[in-house]
Homo-oligomer: A and B are copies of this chain.
């Protein structure tokens, strides 16, 4: 049995008894019923994911998968591909947006070179699981082979397993110049929407480049004919290695019964791929924020997820996941730190 098959076989949905126990505890707390609203819904999810009324969320790791994209040859991004390795160095030096967000939430940021067109020196927070030096141009043929797609997913699973002993709460992140293009392509194929409904301005392209980008996605779908009922085929034909890695991290975390905070459109494309490989992975996902890219909202809707934050962000890197991790920890504290009416000797309501 392959690592992927073995992982899938270990995934189950949330623990219903733990959810029920959490609801019961929350209903007795010294506050009006469900007065912390959506945060309490998240408390119940954490109990369901971990099977515990004291869900572990303290030790946090944001895993940033980095890869390059052959489709940049089509001129879909404002930035050259050399920015991918430069930003990886920036992550490792602690100078990027995701690092700033992770400082506040107390998360470790690790970077996985899953397909960067560059060879990095060893670094403490760098993991090398390179499938290839970037994908091929999906506008002229498949981005990767099916075998490469599976290997990218398995690399993500390996990351979850390798980090499991030091991680209670995972966050997903990405780096890869050009990667809103494959993410929007995946969004279109797996949601059944038209490319123009799910394609956005990425790093800030103008109307002309947006039109070009949309045409590139249409062309890639036409040429490659991805099977919408086969997420691995879709990933191979129009995806990216970091998207596969993110899907794998989520599958791995789900098999470990650990919650995963999902970042923006690229991470959500990975989450959608994971959900088609094993539908119960959706149970362990926490949507961190609703970003500026239209494909993000579409995929969150397909996944049935409401995002915690709505800040019009469009950075990726795992910045939104890192930012939302403290909110996840706050949801945990409702279960573990708040006294019940009985414990605090507070009078219950009149009726």
Query: Does A36 touch B at the CB level, under 8 Å?
Result: yes
Smallest beta-carbon distance A288→chain B, Å: 12
With contacts A95-B344, A326-B326, A347-B82 taken as known, whether A30 is within 8 angstroms of B309 at the C-beta atoms is: no
CA distance A99 to B35 in the complex (A): 15
Closest approach, in angstroms, between the C-beta of A72 and any C-beta of chain B?
11
Chain A interface residue count, CB cutoff 8 Å, equals: 61
Interface centre among A38, A337, A345 (most CB of B within 10 A): A337
Q: Which residues of B contact A79 (CB under 8 A)?
A: 347, 349-350
Q: Does B349 contact A95, Cβ atoms closer than 8 Å?
A: no
Known A104-B330, A311-B37; judge A346-B90 contact (CB<8 A). yes
A319 within 8 A of B: yes
Residues of chain B within 8 A of A339, CB atoms compared:
90, 93, 95-96
Q: How far is the CA of A339 from the CA of B31 in the complex (A)?
A: 43
The contact of A203 among B32, B82, B104, B345, by CB within 8 Å, is B32
Q: In the bound complex, do residue B35 and residue A338 qualify as a contact, i.e. CB atoms below 8 Å apart? A: no
A4 at interface by CB-CB < 8 Å: no
Given contacts A39-B323, A79-B347, A95-B344, 4 further A-B contacts (CB under 8 A): A32-B203, A36-B315, A36-B319, A309-B309
